[in-house]
Structure 1
Amino acid sequence: MRTFKLQVQMSVDGYMSGPNGEMDWLTYPEGEDISAYTTGLAERVDTIVLGRKLAEGFIPHWAAGPEDEPKEAVDQINRAHKVVISRTLTASPWENTVIEGGDLTETVTRLKERAGGDLIVYGGGTLVAELIARQLIDELHVFVNPVALGGGMPVFGGPGAYRGFRLVDARPFACGITALRLEPKRS
């Protein structure tokens, strides 16, 4: 069965965006050490899962071939099959992308059972929280930025959303970000 990974940026107090969706708190510039980590993380990935809101910016951004991104990353992301989870879209406006709007657990189970490489989800926030709550993620790669936001969109669904994880690895990078590789403790 394919591995379903999460890669997400997070503040030290657990938010993936600020109170108004701000992302200006992300730690930049990232160095070669973190770039090598994310390249390794994506090496076996052939399918990217996204929420609709994130997909609307993510897919066109990468399709345009951004010059400030490594060419191999641009090519890998554009080559990957994309699945957009949406309750409102019925057809994909993007190449190499399908829309899935049915039951989330059934959709992810079906994707994981197909032949192919690993799957990765980058967001959005509502989708990530739901995937974690349903214990559908196999590996969490949480990039903890050295900043506290005090509020915003939580990675782990907010108060009362207790989940147990096993720390597999913790890797600090020169830019100040620490990557935590976690696996869920299954109930």
Structure 2
Amino acid sequence: MKKLRLQMQISVDGFVAGPNGEEDWMVWGDTQHWQLINDLANSSDTILIGRKMAEAFIPHFENFEEENPKIEFAQKMVNTPKVIFSKTLDAPFGKNTTLAKGDLTDEISRLKNHTGKDILVYGGVSFVSSLLAGGHIDEMYLLVNPILIAKGMRIFDLLENRQNLTLVSATPSYTGVTAMHYRLG
């Protein structure tokens, strides 16, 4: 069975975006963290994404300039099949995308039961919150930024019960970002 892995930037005080979705507080890690991000993408053959996040994510990577130093990663994001979860869209948009409109638990079970590599989740906030609350996430890769933003959007507020985490690794960078890899359950 495939694992569902979450990769997300987070502040020390537990926010993944500012009150209006701002991401100006995020610090990107060093080459070691970029390698982790790249390795995660390489170990996955599907990306799950909520509609709101897809509206920014998909055009961002599809419009990369060839001379951008991250073009190889951008092409990987374009070429990897993406499943957009939405109750409001009638059709998917962007390259290599499909639409999931059914029951979240049923859709996730179906995807996890396919053969192949693991599944990577990038966001957005409400989508990830629902995945966490439903117990669908198997591993989390949290890039903990050295900042307290005080207000914003969180992904853990829908949880009704404690969830035990097992720390797999913690990798600090010179930028102050620490990559925390947890196994859930």
| 1:127 corresponds to | 127
What secondary structure sits across from 1:17 in the alignment? coil
- Specify whether residues 160 and 104 from structure 1 end up closer, same or farther in structure 2 by C-alpha distance, changes over 3 A only: closer
Q: How many residues align?
A: 184
What secondary structure sits across from 1:16 in the alignment? coil
Give runs of aligned pairs for residues 138-177 of structure 1, distance below 5 A. Answer: 138-157=138-157, 162-177=162-177
What secondary structure sits across from 1:141 in the alignment? strand
Shift of 1:11: 0.3
Instruction: Give me the TM-score of the superposition, normalised by structure 1.
Output: 0.92
Counterpart contact for 1:10–1:155, Cα < 8 Å: no
Task: Give the counterpart letter for 2:34 in structure 1.
Answer: S
CA distance in 1, matches of 2:70, 2:35: 11
| 1:61 corresponds to | 60
- Specify whether residues 159 and 89 from structure 1 end up closer, same or farther in structure 2 by C-alpha distance, changes over 3 A only: closer
Counterpart contact for 2:82–2:97, Cα < 8 Å: yes
Task: Describe the superposition over 1:49-69 as per-residue Cα deviations: whole angstroms up to 9, x where unpaired.
Answer: 000001011111111124545
CA distance in 2, matches of 1:136, 1:159: 12
CA distance in 1, matches of 2:158, 2:165: 16
- Specify whether residues 84 and 106 from structure 1 end up closer, same or farther in structure 2 by C-alpha distance, changes over 3 A only: same
Unaligned runs of 5+ in 2: none
CA distance in 2, matches of 1:24, 1:95: 27
- Specify whether residues 119 and 159 from structure 1 end up closer, same or farther in structure 2 by C-alpha distance, changes over 3 A only: closer
**CA root-mean-square deviation:** 1.6
CA distance in 2, matches of 1:73, 1:105: 30
Give runs of aligned pairs for residues 27-176 of structure 1, distance below 5 A. Answer: 27-28=27-28, 30-66=29-65, 67-157=67-157, 162-176=162-176
What secondary structure sits across from 1:15 in the alignment? coil
CA distance in 1, matches of 2:4, 2:180: 16
Task: Describe the superposition over 1:141-187 as per-residue Cα deviations: whole angstroms up to 9, x where unpaired.
Answer: 000000001121112126856332111111111211001111112xx
